[in-house]
Chains A and B, each alone.
Chain A
Amino acid sequence: MTFFFQNLINALQWGSFYALIALGYSMVYGILMLFNFAHGDIFMVGAYIGFGVATGVTALASFGAIVLPKWLILVLTIIISMFLTSFVGMLVERLGYRPLREAPRASAAITGLMIGIILETGNLALLGAQRVRFPTLIKSETYNISGVFVTNKKIMIVVVSLMLMLALHQFVRRTKWGMAMRAMAFDFVVVPLMGVPINTIAAMTFAIGSALAAAAGILFGVAYPVLDPYMGIVFGWKAFVAAILGGRGSILGATLAGFLLGFLEIFVAMIFPSTLRDLIAYSIILLILTFRPHGFFGEPYSARLRL
Chain B
Amino acid sequence: MSRKLLLKNDHIPGIAALKTYKENGGYTAMEKALKTMSPEALLEEVKTSGLRGRGGAGFPTGMKWSFLAKPEGVPRYLVVNADESEPGTFKDRYLMERIPHLLIEGMVISSFSLGANSAYIYVRGEYFYVSRILEQAIEEAYASGLLGKNILGTGYDLDIYVQIGAGAYICGEETALLESLEGKRGNPRIKPPFPAIAGLYGCPTVVNNVETIAAIVPIIEMGGAEYAKIGIGRSTGTKLISASGHINKPGVYEIEMGLPVEEFIYSEEYCGGIKGGRKMKAVVAGGSSVPILPTELILKTAAGEPRLMSYESLGDGGFITGTMLGSGGFIVMDEDTSIVKNLYTFSRFYHHESCGQCSPCREGTGWMEKILHKILEGKGTLKDIDLLWDIQSKIEGKTICPLGEAAAWPVAAAIRHFRPEFEAYVTNPESIKDVKHYYRLNPTV
Q: Do A and B bind each other?
A: no
